[in-house]
Amino acid sequence: MAGGNAIRGSRVGAGPMGEAERGDAVPRMHVSYFCASGHETRPAFAVDAQVPPEWDCPRCGLPANLDEHNPPPPPKTVPYKTHLAYVKERRSEADAEAILQEAITALRARRAAGEIIY
Ligand SMILES: [Zn+2]
């Protein structure tokens, strides 16, 4: 890709001819990324840039990588967590046991007092 030939300035301290020929345009390369939907995306990177291992597909939003035959799997949807699951995360089994005993004790007290009949 040769660009900027019309404006070839005399750069102060220009290097050897080879470097001057290329001008100041940063050489670019296209890198192909493949997503699980079979799309190919070819963003351009400067040749000396670090090419990221993954790229979001602009067409479907899935992650894409450099391996055409092994694109990254679509991200799993986060499974719905029940309220109980959240409670279990916060409380240990011992806590649960203590709370249960407390509830039972309170219940028995109320039953003894005739508030609950069953
Ligand atoms: Zn895609």
Residues 38, 57: contact at Cβ < 8 Å?
no
- Per CATH, the homologous superfamily of domain 26-65 is RNA polymerase-binding protein A (2.20.28.270)
What is the whole-number distance in angstroms between the Cα of residue 28 and the centre of ligand 1?
23
Q: How far is CA 12 from CA 3, 4, 6, 9, in A?
A: 20, 17, 18, 9
Does 24 have pLDDT greater than 70? Answer: no
Residues 75, 103: contact at Cβ < 8 Å?
no
- pLDDT confidence of residue 23: 61
- pLDDT confidence of residue 8: 59
Does 105 have pLDDT greater than 70? Answer: yes
Report the sign of the C-alpha dihedral through residues 96, 97, 98, 99, in that order.
Answer: positive
Task: Parse the chain into domains and list their residue ranges.
Answer: 26-65, 83-112
What is the whole-number distance in angstroms between the Cα of residue 115 and the centre of ligand 1?
64
For residue range 28-63, what is the model confidence (pLDDT) as tens digits? 999 999 999 999 999 999 999 999 999 999 999 999
Q: Model-level pTM?
A: 0.45
Burial class (CB in 10 A: 0-12, 13-18, 19+), 42: exposed
Please give the mean pLDDT across all residues of the chain. Answer: 81
Q: From CA 70, how far away is CA 23, in angstroms rounded?
A: 39
